[in-house]
């Protein structure tokens, strides 16, 4: 892939082109002010605060920095710096000119960013309030839906809308349909009318239908918005007097066939379309005392790991779409991994430790919803313990060597459970990966808890149901190779559908609906002629010509 085609997910407020971030005591204001010609790719303009992936990369960065660099911030106001327009949503010209894969990954990342806002409100005491100071259409209203409290200017013109179905023949791709009914509890008949109405709904009806929480005269929107922010801030448990940690730029080196971070190494095997991801334990046990954890800041291994995994996943998902299988391995001392877990557990009430644990949760979730086949390899020298053991449970298949390789003097691989496997890192279905693995068998979870801290060899891991296969050194190479070659021979489309259906057993939640049901439908609809064909709505938008539909219901 040419360097100019690589999308970089690392940025900094000094580099923002589309957002203004201001902090006043315990309230931050994040104002959208999109620069029209600062597009990620040529061929369109970001008019009316419409956005592309570059705009959302900055938003994601700002959200992370507010959580980790600004513990004093207890409420965040989302608004627009432009008059009479909040956000026109995803840029339609961008969507019309993008590849199918880019559109789908764009929607997925945008949804994950919205989820990060909701996670901050629900888990971090950092509540988001949205001040819609103009029209909010499509993804613009979906951004507002991520907030806990929505205020709409009452000026007789500003409205909220999800016009994708009537206007573009696609769906509100960043969770709008789901958030309207599951989060805002809008009645189904009201939602049906709303989602087929191009011009949207404004004023008192928007409040009555629970599409927004209140309407405010334009002259008082900023004042009342600040009042609401202060009300929410007063309920927060974030520490007023603490100092944040600087999110330093990641150490990342690219080579022709790999990417190296401090703790994550990636080898790209293009011949078999595999990315091999090795996660290293810390060189020494992380500190246990909270003052030492704060002193390490973003170098604290669990936080560094979360950031590196996050960036690696986004890079591979967006820039290496042909590498359909990810193989996870680990290296290092499992005792150091467990020491990190112990530090997180012992200091769980501290705001930085809480944010670190939540960051790890979100990074692991990002693996869960990625449309790649996931395989974990457990060999001598591995350190699949506690937090890193989640990579085994996230995999579609796992292989653990029975015994050792001939001529290898390292001891046989073992797995070690910790409390980290029983709660801190739920999946999108609100269950742990072990609970999802043993759905309907709570006694299995109780039994596994009794094994915390034990070194489990291949036979024990197999007996407990923690791994898929345990080949010996004679069969190891062939079994792993056949699996990878077989995966590479199957249809990526059917694999994506199969994996997404199998990974999220159990209860359906807002997240599983968005990433399982909604993403699957949007994936399909984005390829249909009614949307992207020569006469489709997305292709004809702005031409003055009416779209022509195949009227068959499928």
The predicted-structure confidence for 466-486, as pLDDT tens digits, reads as follows 999 999 999 999 999 999 999
Question: Tokens at residue 346, please?
Answer: 């012992």
The predicted-structure confidence for 445-461, as pLDDT tens digits, reads as follows 999 999 999 999 999 99
Q: CB-based contacts of 475: which residues, under 8 Å, 6+ apart?
A: none
Is a pLDDT exceeding 80 seen at residue 275? yes
Lowest mean pLDDT among 189-203, 204-218, 426-440, 529-543: 529-543
Is a pLDDT exceeding 70 seen at residue 2? no
Model confidence, pTM: 0.96
Cα 228 to Cα 452: distance, rounded to the nearest angstrom = 45
* 7-233 matches 253-498 in fold: yes
Q: Where are the domains of the chain?
A: 7-233, 253-498
133 confidence band (pLDDT: 50, 70, 90): very high
CATH class, range 7-233? alpha beta
Instruction: Tell me yes or no: is domain 253-498 CATH 3.90.226.10.
Output: yes
Is a pLDDT exceeding 80 seen at residue 83? yes
Residue 537 burial class via C-beta count within 10 angstroms: exposed 0-12, middle 13-18, buried 19 and up: buried
Task: Give the rounded percent of residues in the chain with a pLDDT score beyond 70.
Answer: 99
With b for 16 or more beta-carbon neighbours within 10 A and e for fewer, the 173-207 pattern comes to bbbbbbbbbbeeebeeebbeebbeeeebbbbeebb
pLDDT of 1 reads: 47
The predicted-structure confidence for 199-229, as pLDDT tens digits, reads as follows 999 999 999 999 999 999 999 999 999 999 9
pLDDT of 3 reads: 55
The predicted-structure confidence for 320-377, as pLDDT tens digits, reads as follows 999 999 999 999 999 999 999 999 999 999 999 999 999 999 999 999 999 999 999 9
Cβ proximity of 206 and 161 under 8 Å: no
């Amino acid at each position: 892939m040419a360097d100019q085609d690589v999308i970089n997910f690392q940025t900094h407020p000094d580099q923002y082109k589309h957002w203004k971030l201001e902090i006043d005591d315990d309230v931050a204001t994040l104002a959208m002010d999109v620069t029209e010609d600062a597009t990620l790719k040529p061929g369109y303009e970001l008019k009316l605060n419409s956005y592309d992936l570059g705009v959302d990369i900055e938003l994601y960065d700002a959200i992370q920095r507010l959580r980790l660099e600004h513990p004093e911030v207890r409420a965040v106001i989302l608004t627009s710096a432009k008059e009479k327009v909040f956000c026109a949503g995803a840029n339609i010209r961008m969507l019309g000119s993008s590849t199918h894969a880019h559109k789908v990954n764009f929607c997925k990342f945008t949804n994950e960013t919205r989820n990060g806002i909701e996670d901050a409100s629900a888990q971090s005491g950092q509540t988001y309030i949205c001040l819609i100071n103009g029209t909010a259409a499509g993804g613009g209203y979906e951004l507002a839906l991520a907030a806990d409290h929505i205020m709409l200017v009452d000026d007789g013109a500003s409205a909220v809308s999800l016009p994708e179905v009537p206007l573009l023949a696609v769906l509100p791709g960043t969770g709008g349909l789901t958030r309207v009914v599951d989060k805002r509890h809008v009645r189904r008949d009201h939602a049906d009318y709303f989602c087929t109405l191009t011009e949207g709904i404004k004023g008192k009806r928007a409040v009555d239908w629970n599409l927004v929480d209140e309407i405010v005269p334009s002259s008082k929107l900023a004042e009342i918005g600040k009042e609401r922010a202060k009300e929410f801030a007063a309920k927060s448990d974030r520490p007023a007097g603490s100092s944040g940690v600087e999110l330093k730029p990641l150490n990342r080196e690219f080579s022709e066939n790999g990417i190296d971070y401090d703790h994550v190494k990636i080898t790209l095997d293009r011949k078999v379309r595999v990315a091999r991801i090795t996660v290293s334990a810390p060189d020494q046990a992380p500190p246990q005392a909270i003052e030492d954890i704060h002193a390490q800041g973003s170098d604290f291994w669990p936080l560094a790991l979360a950031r590196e995994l996050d960036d690696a996943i986004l890079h591979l998902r967006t820039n290496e779409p042909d590498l359909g299988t990810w193989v996870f391995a680990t290296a290092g001392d499992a005792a150091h991994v467990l020491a990190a877990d112990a530090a997180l557990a012992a200091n769980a009430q501290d705001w930085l430790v809480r944010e670190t644990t939540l960051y790890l949760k979100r990074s692991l979730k990002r693996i869960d919803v990625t449309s790649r086949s996931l395989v974990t390899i457990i060999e001598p020298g591995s350190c699949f313990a506690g937090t890193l053991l989640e990579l085994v449970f996230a995999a579609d298949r796992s292989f653990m060597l029975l015994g050792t390789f001939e001529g290898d003097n390292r001891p046989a691989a073992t797995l070690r459970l910790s409390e980290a496997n029983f709660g801190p890192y739920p999946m999108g279905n609100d269950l742990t990966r072990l609970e999802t693995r043993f759905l309907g068998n709570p006694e299995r979870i109780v039994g596994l808890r009794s094994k915390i801290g034990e070194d489990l060899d291949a036979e024990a891991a197999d007996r407990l149901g923690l791994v898929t296969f345990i080949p010996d050194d004679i069969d190891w190479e062939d079994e792993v190779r056949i699996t990878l070659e077989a995966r590479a021979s199957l249809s990526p489309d059917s694999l994506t559908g199969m994996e997404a259906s199998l990974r999220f057993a159990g209860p359906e939640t807002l997240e599983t609906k968005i990433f399982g049901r909604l993403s699957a439908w949007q994936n399909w609809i984005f390829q249909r002629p009614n949307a992207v064909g020569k006469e489709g709505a997305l292709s004809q938008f702005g031409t003055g010509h009416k779209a022509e539909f195949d009227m068959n219901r499928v």
